[in-house]
Amino acid sequence: MPAMSIAALVPKVAPKAKRPAWDLKGRVQDLDEVIQKVQQRNASLEKNLEETNGRIASLEAEKCRLNENVVIKSAQTEEASCQIQRLTESLKKKTEEFQEKEAEIRALKEQLETLQNSYKNLQQMYQDETSALKSSISSLTCSKSGLQAQLDATELMLENEKKETKLLRAKCSGLELDKESLIQSNSNLEAKLREGESERRILHNTVQELKGNIRVFCRIRPPLPEEFRKSMTLANIEKISEKTIEIQQTTDASLNENSTKVPPKHEFSFDCVFTSTASQKEVFNEISQLVQSSLDGYNVCIFAYGQTGSGKTFTMEGPADIVDFSSPNHESNLGMIPRSIIQIFQSISDLEPKGWKYRVESLFLEIYNERIQDLLNSQNCQGKIEIVKSGSKGTDCKLSNVTPAEVTSSQQVFELLKKARINRAVAATKCNEHSSRSHFIFQIKIFGENSITGEKCDGTLNLVDLAGSERVKESGSAGDRLTEAKAINKSLSTLGNVIMSLSRKETHIPYRDSKLTHLLANSLGGNSKTLMFVNISPENDSLSETINSLRFATKVNHCNIGTAQKRVK
């Protein structure tokens, strides 16, 4: 509280008329009055002072309290400042977000405008369609009465159908009973079918045994275009029956005008004779039953024999220029090997519904200079191939360093056959420009099992294209060709000796005298079915070799090796 001056505290007294100087008593009296008033004023001032001091004390206490409040407020102010700073930053972020939202709102407004325009367009379309629908409704309303009439008729038909359905359900119950009996009959028929398949195999084998376990077919090669161009003389070969041919040398009439000597005629009989016009299909039809026997669990061997250039390779494989055995363009010329492959896999497919499952393995071998080679290994990097085990009683022939290729389709076998043809030894001689210089053996092993009957069987089919027989003098062989010719003629001679020993039923059969007969021991005697094609050339100059081949084939045809046994496990 600000200090007050004394003058301020002294009460103002209205001035009185100034007494004259001589009136001292009056003046003293006036001064006393003034002093009394001053004392009264002082008393009031002291009271005010006390009140003021009390107020000052209370103000001091208030000041202390306010100072404490100031400290608290200062802390609160600092905290508020920090909070303001945080809020400022938050406000900044919110402002940025707000700006982003404003941008989104602007984009949404643009979309809204677009949608509004689309809505207007759709509304206009709706109005147009509504108009169209109204007109349609009018027409539909008109047709409603007609549909109602149809509906009534349909309901009547439905009632009739329900009645018929009840009758049909009654019939279905009877048919279900018939169905169960038919299923039972079908099961019985399937069992009979399996029994029939087993009986078919037995009858089939009986028929093959009646035909003979070693059969010989003769096939006459047609003249080649180059033989016509060179005007070569052809021998007089005549088929006088289905199984018999007659052959005679053709003489030059200009050189033998005065000669009365007529060349002798030679007659030969075999199981079947094919003339030069016979197709590959006709020939295969005669051997297809033997191929079927290999599926039934028998060992079967089919081989082509004859002089070089007589058509053995054509008979067994087909033309040399075939690159795709599955092509329809080559179907008519396919040889016995590709046709046998096709039949085997077709039969496997046909027998699957009867419970039969088969596993098939194949080997492609050649015997060159009395050495067995794997034709699927073009580098010949494998070890020496030897016959580990072989027998004439149907036992499998075991070879070292050879792994059979497992095949599941005819196309797979065709690919392997093409590779084997490339690797086979072929050379030119005077008798044949592309003479086969080795014996080619395609072997396919078939392992079958019937999951229904539990029957198991395995058979082996050997298809052999023998190297061409030829006289060394006529073939003009020399050097390597001479060595090859000697090896070929020795193995073919051993084959003849084995056939003769079998026909005479000798105790010792010289299978081991050559790799060919050793390898085919289980297909030439005992548990096997064998067929030989004797291929002959129509050339007049080859007549002596032709007659030798036919004589050898006749010996084979007269051989009896016993009854083949089915290999059942």
| pLDDT tens digits for range 34-86 | 898 898 988 899 899 999 898 999 999 988 989 888 889 888 888 888 988 88
Of residues 335 and 329, which shows the higher confidence score?
335
What tokens appear for 318 in the block?
């087909």
Confidence of residue 316 (pLDDT cuts 50, 70, 90): very high
3-state secondary structure at position 272: strand
Confidence of residue 396 (pLDDT cuts 50, 70, 90): low
**Which among 145-154, 249-258, 461-470 has the top mean pLDDT?**
461-470
Confidence of residue 250 (pLDDT cuts 50, 70, 90): confident
The residues pairing with 534 across neighbouring beta strands, listed in sequence order, are 218, 305
Of residues 476 and 520, which shows the higher confidence score?
520
Between 5-19, 279-293, 504-518, the lowest mean confidence (pLDDT) is in 5-19
Confidence of residue 220 (pLDDT cuts 50, 70, 90): very high
Burial class (CB in 10 A: 0-12, 13-18, 19+), 404: middle
The residues pairing with 450 across neighbouring beta strands, listed in sequence order, are 356
Alpha-carbon gap, residue 375 to 377, rounded angstroms: 5
* Cβ proximity of 213 and 301 under 8 Å: no
- pLDDT for the residue numbered 191: 61
- pLDDT for the residue numbered 31: 85
Of residues 286 and 561, which shows the higher confidence score?
286
Between 141-145, 178-182, 289-293, 561-565, the lowest mean confidence (pLDDT) is in 561-565
Percent of the chain with pLDDT over 70: 81
- pLDDT for the residue numbered 505: 80
Alpha-carbon gap, residue 213 to 522, rounded angstroms: 13
Q: Is the dihedral of CA 240, 246, 247, 250 positive or negative?
A: negative
Of residues 348 and 12, which shows the higher confidence score?
348
Check pLDDT > 70 for residue 13.
no
Pairing of strands 387-389, 398-399: antiparallel
What number is the average pLDDT over the span 514-543? 84
- pLDDT for the residue numbered 200: 52
Confidence of residue 408 (pLDDT cuts 50, 70, 90): very high
Amino acid type, 426: V
Confidence of residue 340 (pLDDT cuts 50, 70, 90): very high
Check pLDDT > 70 for residue 254.
no
Arithmetic mean of pLDDT over the chain: 81
Alpha-carbon gap, residue 206 to 220, rounded angstroms: 29
3-state secondary structure at position 477: coil
Between 151-160, 210-219, 242-251, 558-567, the lowest mean confidence (pLDDT) is in 558-567
Check pLDDT > 60 for residue 1.
no
* Cβ proximity of 533 and 185 under 8 Å: no
> Residues with Cβ < 8 Å from 16, sequence gap 6 or more?
30
What tokens appear for 428 in the block?
């030119």
What tokens appear for 98 in the block?
């707000």
What number is the average pLDDT over the span 132-136? 82
Alpha-carbon gap, residue 549 to 544, rounded angstroms: 9
- pLDDT for the residue numbered 278: 93
Domain boundaries, the chain: 213-250+263-557
- pLDDT for the residue numbered 432: 43
- pLDDT for the residue numbered 428: 39
Alpha-carbon gap, residue 400 to 284, rounded angstroms: 33
Check pLDDT > 80 for residue 112.
yes
The CATH label, of 3.40.50.720, 3.40.50.970, 3.40.850.10, 3.40.50.300, for the domain at 213-250+263-557 is 3.40.850.10
Hey, how many other C-beta atoms are within 10 angstroms of the C-beta on 401? 13
| Digit-coded pLDDT (tens) for 341-377 | 999 999 999 989 888 999 999 999 999 888 999 988 8
- pLDDT for the residue numbered 461: 92
* Cβ proximity of 551 and 536 under 8 Å: no
Check pLDDT > 60 for residue 533.
yes
What number is the average pLDDT over the span 260-272? 85
- pLDDT for the residue numbered 439: 92
What number is the average pLDDT over the span 464-490? 72
- pLDDT for the residue numbered 413: 93
